[in-house]
Amino acid sequence: MLDKHLNYRRVLAALAGVILSSSLPAQEPARPLQSIIDGYVQSGMTSNLALANQDIEVDKSRAMLAAARARFLPELALAARYTRAEGGRQIDLPVGQLLNPVYQTLNELLIANGGVARFSAIADQAIPLQLPREQDTRITLRQPLYAPAITAGVAAARANLGAAGYSRQAYQRELRRDITVAYLEWLKARNGAAILSTSEATLAENLRVNRSLYDNGKSTHDTVLRARAEWLGVQQRQRDAQNGVDQARSYLNFLLNRPLATPLEAPADADSLPAAVSLAPAADGAIGASVVAAVPARPELLALDAAQSAAAEQLRAAHAARRPNLALGVDAGTQGVDYATGRNYDFVTGSVVLSWTLFDAGARAAAVLQARLAGKQLANQRELLAARIGLEQQQAADNLRSAQDSLATADARAVAARAAFAIASKRRDAGMADQLEFLDARNEMTGAELNRNLTYYTLLERQAQYAWAHGDLP
């Protein structure tokens, strides 16, 4: 009867499993590791805020270049002025005092000769220099004819645009490296937590067995205490490992500009052996030998080259400020007391304007010195960056060689530790090994698996660092 009841329950459980599996949505198969990393990189290229700021810097440099080019073209402007004034300076002309005596004498002569007085007295005149009402409306056209500073300014703006573009490329490569390393850090922490979880389950079972043996009088209480201590120690390490998983996930989501708790995708080949990277041999260990290959591939150097070109053009612009400027000016409009057009209102003027600063108390000389020093500073920065790139390449190659050599050792250690733990488990079950031997074998296997996990993902991270240092990242 009991067997029939158990069979009935098994049938119901199987039917329930079929129904649940048919109702759940089908999960997509896990993708390879490199495919997932490429997807996160593409997402970061469109969502990372720091990269968006780099795009803005490029747009700003492009706008500055357009503004510099616009100075070559004529400038057309409308200016209008309407003025009402009271008082102000005026010119007093004593016309009456000068002419009235003459007019009076002439009138007397005319009357004496039997004529009629013809000249009347006039008043003194006052001519105001400020009109009570006045308007001036004009269209002005200005066209530079000779301005060497404009040409140098355009060349400098073009070089700055190139520097901004190369800086954006450099940050793109750094972002790709950071996203790759951050995802590998998450996988490393996740696998480490999984190893500790397996160890925790084994030690929990070991604690249960030792409690049963103690309850049955087959062991002493110290074996239970030791088993419990080992179990609690692994639990503590597991909590720390889970914290590392959460932090690694948060950092990657930060780079992708997503909510920090967004789940990450696990790859199908998370523990497969990575492809070996061919290492370029260093010439006598010299740093400078690697720099030659890095110059065309590292946009950081190209950005400084463009910045040096911009500094050279700024120096040329500072020298050009000492030369004269020639411009054409045309004004056309209407002037008068009222707004009107006609012969007495319309006017047109044309001018050729020469401007040449002859003395400025050393301001232009200081500008030339400042531009020259800026160029020297950029040259020093480029030399320092080239040396740093060479150092990065050498260190990346050394670290990658070390990681490749360590992986085989870590694999062999993990295999040996698993075999030793299997033997210790069988000896314990057969009563041929004590508790200490079993726990030591368990700890050694856990340490070996954690070391293998650390070595494996360190190798992948150093591959990414090597590719970044040698300009291999797209």
pLDDT digits (tens, 9 = 90+) for 22-34: 343 445 667 888 8
CATH class of 46-82+160-322+357-469: mainly alpha
- SS3 for 69? helix
| pLDDT at residue 214, rounded to an integer | 77
- Across 288-315, b (16+ Cβ under 10 Å) vs e yields ebbbeebeeebbbbbbbbbbbbbbbbbb
- SS3 for 43? helix
**Which tokens is 384 given?**
């320092």
Counting as low any pLDDT under 70, the low residues of the chain are 1-29, 88, 269-297, 433-435, 472-474
Q: How far is CA 122 from the centre of its chain?
A: 83
| pLDDT at residue 225, rounded to an integer | 84
Reported as a single tens digit per residue, the pLDDT across 409-434 is: 898 999 999 899 888 888 877 777 66
Q: Look at phi and psi of residue 147 and say left if phi exceeds 0, alpha if psi is from -120 to 50, else beta.
A: beta
| pLDDT at residue 78, rounded to an integer | 95
Residues near 199 by beta carbon (within 8 Å), at least 6 away in sequence: 234, 442, 445, 446
- SS3 for 84? strand
Q: Look at phi and psi of residue 332 and say left if phi exceeds 0, alpha if psi is from -120 to 50, else beta.
A: beta
Note whether 459 and 408 are within 8 A (CB): no
- DSSP letters for 374-418: HHHHHHHHHHHHHHHHHHHHHHHHHHHHHHHHHHHHHHHHHHHHH
| pLDDT at residue 187, rounded to an integer | 92
| pLDDT at residue 345, rounded to an integer | 87
Note whether 364 and 321 are within 8 A (CB): yes
Interatomic CA distance for residues 212 and 293, integer angstroms: 68
Alpha helices in 48-147 (DSSP H): 49-70, 95-112
pTM, two decimal places = 0.74
CA atoms within 13 A on the CB side of 388: 9
Interatomic CA distance for residues 133 and 130, integer angstroms: 9
